[in-house]
Structure 1
């Protein structure tokens, strides 16, 4: 099994390399320290599995995963990161990652994750699996029954769309959610893309159709 390690922390790469070298059916065929490097060198290394960090210089691991999977559909990517928030997990899944593991996972769990995704199955570390269960168990029926496009939104994006449907401006949303105006602008752009609409007005209409932004009597705010 040919494995490429993509992580900008030398000590972490060294630890993974030592672990994988101790296993007869795995071979580390290269190490890179950025998303740009993994994109530029993947054809040269021709790995079966990439162990991918999220936070790296230049192109981050999630965007690198999205581009890799589009070009090499047979490639298996296992995210190994410190980030365990819902947005990062779901973004990695949408990008095409086969697995998600937190740094600090036991060696046995790391090896098992690599073998599972190499076989084409999905793998989530215990902590991530618990988060996913908690998330889906907490979804309100009204949200779960909405259109497939709205189902693509993260919890934060859904929250921002609801406030958009209430006719709040970006600065007002930023103040309400304690976010920077730039973050809200970026999130709104992502929402428009996911909903496949051209502008804010169309996004608001889609939200109203789904029942978002209405008062207790069902009237649009």
Structure 2
């Protein structure tokens, strides 16, 4: 059996936090390493314990989940943050992603989907709920002109890397990109690593943000729920 994923659950609602811990504890692949009732506690415990994944609420006292995510990402960059909330507001979504969150799912998610989401972000992938993806795309694909500085960042990419970034932003998995470009999936993974390195991006969610902010991709077909 592979090592258990160490998860910290952060939510100011005691009943919700207990419920989440109970759900996750059923899965033998997960281990609840800590809990926190506000963002300040989350930062302190995440930095001290470096869990694999932090399941983070947004609206909390003392320090909200977005600022807590930003501080954890800065102090413990290997910790992956998965935002779990009832809210789909643009400011919350974009604020959390730009703060360093690896994924964003809604609290009405099914237990088995939540467990799968934790494994997804722990494995280095990124995940957005379909509702959240639509919010991000609608916000980023507006009529505003692309930022010239962001466009200059894209010039670092080769034509093939731009192709791969475009397909990432359209929601294709590595396997889907390989099929679309008629290349090996291992080659796609290499391209993705180079894209993230050249653009100094934390993960694929932020690659999607760059693709839309620069106008490389515009709203037409929406990305899928998983960006893997």
Structures share fold, TM-score greater than 0.5? yes
Q: Which whole-Å CA distance do the structure 2 matches of 1:43 and 1:72 have between them?
A: 6
**Counterpart residue number, 2:32:** 28
Note the aligned Cα RMSD (angstroms): 1.8
| Count of residues in correspondence between the two structures | 147
Confirm or deny: 8 A CA contact 1:4 1:29 kept in the other structure. yes
User: Any idea what the Cα deviations from partners look like across 1:51-102, whole Å, max 9, x if unmatched?
Assistant: 0111111111100110110111111000111221111111111100000111
**Counterpart residue number, 1:158:** none
Q: Which whole-Å CA distance do the structure 2 matches of 1:40 and 1:146 have between them?
A: 36
1:1-221 paired onto structure 2 within 5 Å: 1-137=5-141, 139-140=142-143, 143-148=144-149
Confirm or deny: 8 A CA contact 2:39 2:68 kept in the other structure. yes
Q: Which whole-Å CA distance do the structure 1 matches of 2:110 and 2:137 have between them?
A: 21
1:54 aligns to what SS in structure 2?
A: coil
Structure 1 gap segments, 5+ residues each: 150-221
User: Any idea what the Cα deviations from partners look like across 1:18-66, whole Å, max 9, x if unmatched?
Assistant: 1111111101111110111112222443311100111111111100110
With a CA cutoff of 8 Å and minimum separation of 6, indicate the structure with the bigger relative contact order: 2
Q: Which whole-Å CA distance do the structure 2 matches of 1:24 and 1:144 have between them?
A: 49
User: Any idea what the Cα deviations from partners look like across 1:159-207, whole Å, max 9, x if unmatched?
Assistant: xxxxxxxxxxxxxxxxxxxxxxxxxxxxxxxxxxxxxxxxxxxxxxxxx
User: Any idea what the Cα deviations from partners look like across 1:92-137, whole Å, max 9, x if unmatched?
Assistant: 1110000011111111221121111001111011221232333345
Confirm or deny: 8 A CA contact 2:10 2:56 kept in the other structure. yes
Q: Which whole-Å CA distance do the structure 2 matches of 1:75 and 1:43 have between them?
A: 9
Q: Which whole-Å CA distance do the structure 2 matches of 1:85 and 1:148 have between them?
A: 27
Measured after TM superposition, the shift of residue 17 of structure 1 is: 0.7
**Which has more radius of gyration?**
1
- TM-score, normalised on structure 1? 0.62
Q: Which whole-Å CA distance do the structure 2 matches of 1:67 and 1:43 have between them?
A: 9
- TM-score, normalised on structure 2? 0.60
Q: Kindly tell me: are residues 148 and 85 of structure 1, through their superposed partners in 2, closer, same or farther at Cα, counting changes over 3 Å?
A: farther
Confirm or deny: 8 A CA contact 1:4 1:45 kept in the other structure. no
Structure 2 gap segments, 5+ residues each: 151-228
